[in-house]
Structure 1
Amino acid sequence: MKIGIIGSGDVAQALGAGFTAKGHQVLLGTSSPAKLADWKAANGAAQVGSFADAAAFGELVVLAVKGHAAVAAVKAAGAQALAGKVVIDACNPIADAPPVNGVLQFFTGPNESLLETLQAEFAAVRFVKAFNSVGSGFMIDPQFEGGAPTMFIAGNDAAAKATVSKLLSSVGWDSADMGAATAARAIEPLCMLWCISGLLRNEWAHAFKLVKPVAAR
């Protein structure tokens, strides 16, 4: 698959390297190409270009920028180029404010989400929330006791979510479809929960798993 990634931070680089290693064609879109020189050298099969290049290149696209820059990044990439495409929203609405007792602050309220904002702004794009509730070091082939962790996903397009679930499975994740974009109101705060032990105790090696009761025999 051709995968375009809008962003060049830790999440974008981790996903780009992982998808490249899995045999996908990857183009990282960035506003600072020089920043990716070492990454490009380590991932020679991957390409580097602009946000617009990533949007045009990808059969599937990942949006991996800071939350406050998400809408602007989609505009810079070109909403028309993304129309009809599956776009994984890996962003979190983290505010420019310090954590409170280890709890990140968000610029969204409890009855809204960044995913909903993006979907309302760019109605023709098939957004799916994913890759927002774990650190970049565990996004590809995570190894935890108890087996594959769970990636909670949400979005308004069932076929888009099926595509994302298949991609998640190929990189070592179980996925749990939580429904429409409104479910991101619950999924995005998982980032807060994931970060608490890291911010308080520097413990970052964990992920979430949805468990179900043993079926009756």
Structure 2
Amino acid sequence: MKIGILGSGSVAQSLGAGLLQHGHDVVLGTGSPAKLAEWQAAHPRARVGTFADAAGFGDIAVLAVKGHAAVAAVRAAGAHLLAGKTIIDTTNPIADEPPLHGVLRFFTGPGESLHEQLQREYPELKFVKAFNSVGAAHMIDPSFEGGPPTMFICGDDERARHAVGGLVRELGWEVADMGPAVAARAIEPLCMLWCIPGLQRNEWSHAFRLLK
């Protein structure tokens, strides 16, 4: 597939490299091309361009920016270029305030999610929440003693969820489809839980698994 990634941070770089390894074509869109010079030198098959370049290129797009920049990043990319496309939403609504005893603070309340805000802001786009509850180092072909971890996904469009689920499985995960976008109210806080061991004890090598 052709995949356009909006972002230039560790999540964008990790997913971009992993998708290339799995045979996909990738364009990373960024407002700071210099930030990706070293990454592109290591991945010559990929292309670095603007947000609009990535949005127009991808059959599927990935939104991989900081939470407070998510709505603006889609606007910068051009919602018309993303209309009708599936967009993997990796974002979390992490606030600027420091963590409290290792617990991140969100700028959303308990009855809302950033994912739902994005879907309301851009109703013509098909957002699917994924890759928000694990660190960038473990997003591609994760290897843990307990077996493949679980990626929790959600989104209002069932066909889009199915497409993202297939891609997530290809990248080495089990998938737990939690249904419509409202489930992001539970999935986004998994980021908080995942980060606590890291912020408290500098332990970052773990992932969640749903047992049945």
Question: TM bucket by the smaller chain?
Answer: over 0.9
2:87 corresponds to which residue? 87
Q: TM-score, normalised by structure 2?
A: 0.99
Deviation at 1:55, TM superposition (A): 0.3
Instruction: Tell me the distance in 1 between the aligned counterparts of 2:162 and 2:43.
Output: 28
1:9 corresponds to which residue? 9
**Counterpart residue identity of residue 28, structure 1:** L
1:125 corresponds to which residue? 125
Runs of 4+ in 1 over 4 A off after TM superposition: none
1:24 corresponds to which residue? 24
Deviation at 1:158, TM superposition (A): 0.6
Deviation at 1:146, TM superposition (A): 1.7
1:111 corresponds to which residue? 111
Identity of aligned residues (%): 68
1:102 corresponds to which residue? 102
**Counterpart residue identity of residue 3, structure 2:** I
Whether 1:153 aligns to 2:153 is yes
1:47 corresponds to which residue? 47
2:75 corresponds to which residue? 75
Q: TM-score, normalised by structure 1?
A: 0.97
Q: Which runs of 5+ in 1 are unaligned?
A: 213-217
- DSSP 3-state at the match of 1:48: strand
Q: How many residues align?
A: 212
2:63 corresponds to which residue? 63
Deviation at 1:67, TM superposition (A): 0.1
Deviation at 1:147, TM superposition (A): 1.1
Whether 1:184 aligns to 2:184 is yes
- DSSP 3-state at the match of 1:19: helix
Q: Which runs of 5+ in 2 are unaligned?
A: none
Whether 1:175 aligns to 2:178 is no
**Counterpart residue identity of residue 69, structure 1:** A
